Structure 1
Amino acid sequence: MASAAPARTRSPFPRRRLLATGALGLAAAATLGAVAPASAAVLDDGDLAAQESAQWTEEFLTRPETREGFVLEAMDDWQVANATFIIAVVKGHELGEEVAVVALITAIVEAWLYNYEPAVDADSGGLFQQRPSMGWGTYDEVRHKKHALDAFLGLGEHSQAPGLLQVVPDVASWEPGAAAQAVQASAHPERYTELVGAAREIWDRFADDVEPYTA
């Protein structure tokens, strides 16, 4: 992998701010400050909602496609940030662990938890490698993390493709890998099931500290 997430000791950022971003490593937090200077300021408690909303940006979490693979214990800042973003949005929709696990394993298998800018396969892109030609939204929408995740969940008004809650309304009763495959129709369905354990570990590590995201 590119790098292991740096230690989070002696952080120059308030603990509350780090928890709002899902315990991002310092490198990602520093990058956030460069991309969105206004969000780097320490806000009063009354401004926490605005602060948390500002943490979830699109640009600083986007990087070119690589094929480095996925190693749970070597997740870099990009992967931690995208994983915790998925958890935050799922919680914002008042959905639980099972839905988050399906979304996480899909983003791991499809894009190693990176929000890819270039097309990787035909016209696919983003966290879920969604294809505009298949009704998942425009070029920009499939690369916009919130739009892409909402579309995957079946909650994106911009998407014409059936998402998880439409294809598998009783998702909690499904094996997560099978639920992911029902949405993605992959040529390699076994890959989703292989990542279920990693996705549950990610949920266990971060879910309690990640605030729901509803914007």
Structure 2
Amino acid sequence: MATAASARTLTPFSRRHLLLTGTLGLAAAASLSAVAPASAAVLDTETSAETWTEEFLTRAETREGFVLDAMDDWQLENAKFIIAVVKGHELGEEVAVIALITAIVESWLYNYEPAVDADSGGLFQQRPSMGWGSYDEVRHKKHALDAFLGLGEHAQAPGLLQAVSDPATWDAGAAAQTVQASAHPERYAEQIGAAREIWDRFAADVEPYTA
């Protein structure tokens, strides 16, 4: 477990940000992290973020960028949805943190539509060819999250509850890496502070989601 000080140390850099450095150059990519993500599509302000409609669950989200204090409406909805589903499964804060850091690193909390890494897609950049479900299932937020947690009947790949015997006792970064098998395992721990801050801000007001 990270210390209280290190847990609140935030970084805008993630897997997606580092991918950008290869095409834009380090200086240009660094400048992207300092500004809020684009907001070309504005959500209907009368729609509750906790309605969790089928349109929400399957919405393709192709915008990029993650800065904790500049999260747009889509990132906020997705973060709250992760918390809601984890609470619905009665798994608690530590599992939510593991899921959040994974989604931050893999997709910057967007239900990412294009295949960026081979056939990967969705919040957790899951690959159909690796047993995580079909093209549509890895881009369906509830199916993808349940598969990551190890509770998705559609997925053959081992999720968190299969890969880690007691997630609450694990270092969050190590637990995420055990599921994801990333070539850059250190990036998950870098987002623990952001994930815990998200939990602290929203968990008390998010109802469990069990549908």
Coarse TM-score class (shorter-chain normalised)? 0.7 to 0.9
Identity %: 77
Q: Report the TM-score, using the length of structure 1 for normalisation.
A: 0.75
Match of 2:97 among 101, 114, 117: 101
C-alpha displacement of 1:106: 0.2
Residue 177 (structure 1) aligned to one of 173, 177, 192: 173
Q: Are the counterparts in 2 of residues 64 and 118 from structure 1 also a CA contact under 8 Å?
A: no
Whether the 8 Å CA contact 2:112–2:123 is kept in 1: the answer is: yes
**What are the Cα deviations for residues 29-75 of structure 1, in whole angstroms up to 9, with x where unaligned?**
4384xxxxxxx8xxxxxxxxxx95xx10243473443443x110101
1:29-68 → structure 2 map (5 Å cutoff): 29-30=44-45, 32=47, 55-60=51-56, 62-68=59-65
Structure 2 counterpart of 1:89: 85
Equivalent residue, structure 1, for 2:161: 165
CA distance in 2, matches of 1:76, 1:103: 19
Amino acid at match of 1:167: A
Instruction: Name 1:129's counterpart in structure 2.
Output: 125
1:2 corresponds to which letter in structure 2?
P
Matched, 1:114 2:110: yes
Aligned residue for 1:127, secondary structure, equals coil
Q: Provide runs of 4+ in structure 1 moved above 6 Å.
A: none
Offset of 1:200 from its aligned partner?
Answer: 0.3
Q: Deviations over 1:129-164 (max 9, x none)?
A: 000000000000000000000000000000000000
Cα distance in 2 between the residues matched to 1:119 and 1:57: 24
Distance 1:211 1:183 in 2: 26
CA distance in structure 2 between the aligned counterparts of 1:201 and 1:85, rounded to whole angstroms: 15
Q: CA RMSD in A?
A: 2.0
Distance 1:137 1:31, change over 3 A: farther
Gaps of 5+ in 2: 1-35
What is the SS of the residue equivalent to 1:116?
Answer: coil
Matched, 1:146 2:142: yes
How many Å apart are 1:102 and its aligned residue? 0.1
Q: What is the aligned partner in structure 2 of residue 194 from structure 1?
A: 190
Tell me the TM-score normalised to structure 2 length: 0.77
- Ranked by relative contact order (alpha carbons within 8 Å, sequence separation 6 or more), the top structure is 2
**Separation of aligned partners in 2, 1:78 and 1:194:** 22
Kindly tell me the number of residue pairs found equivalent between the two proteins. 173
State the Cα distance separating 1:169 from its structure 2 match: 2.0
Aligned 8 A contact 2:161 2:167 in 1: yes
The answer to whether the 8 A contact 2:37-2:64 is kept is no
Partners of 1:60 and 1:156 in 2: CA distance: 19
Gaps of 5+ in 1: 5-26, 33-39, 41-50
